[in-house]
Amino acid sequence: MHHLYKEESVEGRYVTLNHLTKTWLPGLPEQYVDTIGKSENGQLIYSITLGTGEKKVLMWSQMHGNESTTTKAVLDLVNFLSSNSDISNEILKNCKLVILPMLNPDGAKAYTRVNANEVDLNRDAQNRSQAETNILWSVFESFQPNFCFNLHDQRTLFNVGGTDQVATVSFLSPASDSQRSITDSRVEAMKLIVGMNHRLQQEIPGQVGRYDDAFNANCIGDSFQMKKVPTVLFEAGHYPNDYEREETRRFIFFALIEALEIISENKLDNFEVSEYASIPENHKFFFDVLIKNASVVNPNIETGNSVGIRYEEILNANSIEFKPKVDEVGTLEDFYGHLELDLTVSEDFDSLSSQKEILELLIHL
């Protein structure tokens, strides 16, 4: 039923504050929306408050300005929670949500990971040197949430475990110390992830991964976990032929609703923490394009070698262009491609002619 709640005014990879304020925010009930501060460049940062329950959930998106998929899913989630359905009413009766749909509007406008001062907000948790970081900490300290959802995108290079499955959605229960101790708050976050994984396996079997849990106190998620608040990192990844991430948007929407239902209905203990470790870890074995036997078009490439190409995301006239760039040349036996072309196969060789930028890269390599 996602299509019933999808915010049609916001699509694609380039999502800015203007996209939110043009149609979506003005359409929300006034009592939902608060202005909670300004970015380093003076853009407004908004929060959305929903529900009256005792279980408090804080979520924020687009801490990295070029990670917009979860923002789109959050808009859809708010539309759903405003729908007066049985499920949404039950969630709002039992939970109170504070949602920051775009923490880094300056980075979103420039389509960069960092903010206007070129600071990665997800490495500023201890220094608190940036306006946006301080706004998030202020909300955290005043709201005192029971759960935190840290919403991000991940690159197309991630695969699930040792498989050829792309990591379409990944999760992490961050560590709260360098020993990666399994604290009570980590356990609650792990159980919540297990519940979301059960739901997503119905939609994208084998395409859910577990993110690396190396501890970094400068990361927001690790810092909030240090405060003994169960925190979940969401990573929206690639889905086949979905570079605009409209399909992944749908899966994040499902995951968010599942998580809120579990919290609302006190179902955490329905899930075994041991299942968290069985979610395969992410690896980095995907190229956007993998060209096998590339010497067919360029004899300077060693016979039998492959060329791995990854796209650079370039902002051009308010849209994102995907520009191919050679990332690696070699046997690349353990790697996969979202598009794979073996130039010894006639059909694949013919297909290369339609990939003119890639063909030029190979010829001049």
Instruction: Identify the structural domains of the chain with CATH numbers, from first to last.
Output: 2-283 (3.40.630.10), 286-363 (no CATH)
Beta bridge partners of 34: 47
Summarised one tens digit per residue, pLDDT across range 325-350 is 999 999 999 999 999 999 999 999 99
Summarised one tens digit per residue, pLDDT across range 10-22 is 999 999 999 999 9
Cα–Cα dist 315/305, whole Å:
32
Q: How confident is the model at residue 306 (pLDDT cuts 50, 70, 90)?
A: very high
Q: Are 246 and 162 spatial neighbours (Cβ–Cβ below 8 Å)?
A: no
- What is the pLDDT at residue 87? 96
**Residue 251 pLDDT more than 90?**
yes
What are 356's two structure tokens?
Answer: 């003119």
- What is the pLDDT at residue 80? 97
Cα–Cα dist 218/124, whole Å:
6
Cα–Cα dist 154/228, whole Å:
26
pLDDT above 90 as % of the chain: 99
Query: What is the residue-averaged pLDDT of the chain?
Result: 97
Cα–Cα dist 1/275, whole Å:
28
**Closest of 136, 234, 140, 146 to residue 184, by C-alpha:** 146
Which amino acid is present at 27?
A: G
Helices vs. strands in the chain: H and E counts, helices first = 12, 14
Summarised one tens digit per residue, pLDDT across range 151-191 is 999 999 999 999 999 999 999 999 999 999 999 999 999 99
- What is the pLDDT at residue 326? 97
Q: How confident is the model at residue 1 (pLDDT cuts 50, 70, 90)?
A: confident
Please enumerate in sequence order all residues whose Cβ is within 8 A of that of 301, keeping only pairs 6 or more positions apart, or say none. 294, 295, 307, 329, 362, 365
Mean pLDDT of 272-277: 96
Summarised one tens digit per residue, pLDDT across range 61-107 is 999 999 999 999 999 999 999 999 999 999 999 999 999 999 999 99
**Residue 284 pLDDT more than 90?**
yes
Using a 10 angstrom Cβ sphere, with 0-12 exposed, 13-18 middle and 19 or more buried, the burial of residue 243 is middle
Beta bridge partners of 57: 97, 147
**Closest of 13, 101, 12 to residue 62, by C-alpha:** 101
Cα–Cα dist 203/140, whole Å:
33
What are 273's two structure tokens?
Answer: 């923490």
Q: Are 21 and 11 spatial neighbours (Cβ–Cβ below 8 Å)?
A: no
